[in-house]
Amino acid sequence: MSNPVNKTDLQFLKHFSMIIGFLVLVTAALMAVAAYLYTLHPPPQNPLHAQQVESRITPIGDAYAGDTGRAAKLAAEQAAQKAAAAQVAYGGTTDGKTIFGNLCHSCHETGVAGAPMLTDKANWAPRVAQGLDTLVSHAINGYNGKAGAMPARGGNPSLNDAQVKATVEWMLTQVK
């Protein structure tokens, strides 16, 4: 029985295998160079990474015992109050003019969604007749009726009730 592969085919296979082997070596070398360069220039780290990890592993509840625990509990409560105050819109100000200028003016100076314009006293008269409590309730909880639409808290959920009430009161002084 004779060899089914002739001499030229054998030589082709030999050269083809050498080329494939060479390409495998080049690929491995390129991968090694890329890994080395990656170690020289690592990707930037998230600056909030440590804070995110800390928030994930922080216990949900705390246990305080004795005088030291009482002091730690008071300190934790004060820190929580400061953090909550920082989350209130406009630094917690109850200056109605400031809140109106930052939020409410966009609707109440242009009449968007049927909002009564601050300069239109006739349009405010039926609303003023409903009383302060009703107007504050509509501003806090939102209103959607035939007179127009008002998003809850003027569309800013971080406003607290005192801020909303102060703003409504300031607006009423402007329309009377």
> Would you write out the chain's pLDDT as a tens digit for each of its 176 residues?
567 878 888 899 999 999 999 999 999 999 999 999 988 987 788 888 888 888 888 777 666 677 777 788 788 878 877 776 667 777 778 888 888 888 888 888 888 888 888 888 888 888 888 888 988 888 888 888 887 888 888 888 888 888 889 988 989 888 87
3-state class of 31 per DSSP?
helix
Measured CA to CA, the distance from residue 54 to residue 32 in angstroms comes to 36
The contacts of residue 2 (CB under 8 Å, 6+ apart) are: none
Q: What is the pLDDT of residue 86?
A: 64
Neighbours of 151 (CB within 10 A): 14
Structure token pair of residue 20 = 């494939």
DSSP β-ladder status, 143-145 and 148-150: antiparallel
Q: Alpha helix locations (H) across 45-120?
A: 49-57, 66-86, 96-99, 105-108
> Is the full-model pTM beyond 0.75?
no
Query: CA quadruple 157, 158, 162, 168: dihedral positive or negative?
Result: negative
The CATH code that applies to domain 90-175 is 1.10.760.10
HSE (side-chain half, CA atoms, 13 Å) at 102: 16
Q: What is the pLDDT of residue 88?
A: 74
Give bridge partners of residue 143 from the DSSP assignment. 150
The contacts of residue 87 (CB under 8 Å, 6+ apart) are: 158
CB 96 within 8 A of CB 103: no
Measured CA to CA, the distance from residue 157 to residue 140 in angstroms comes to 9
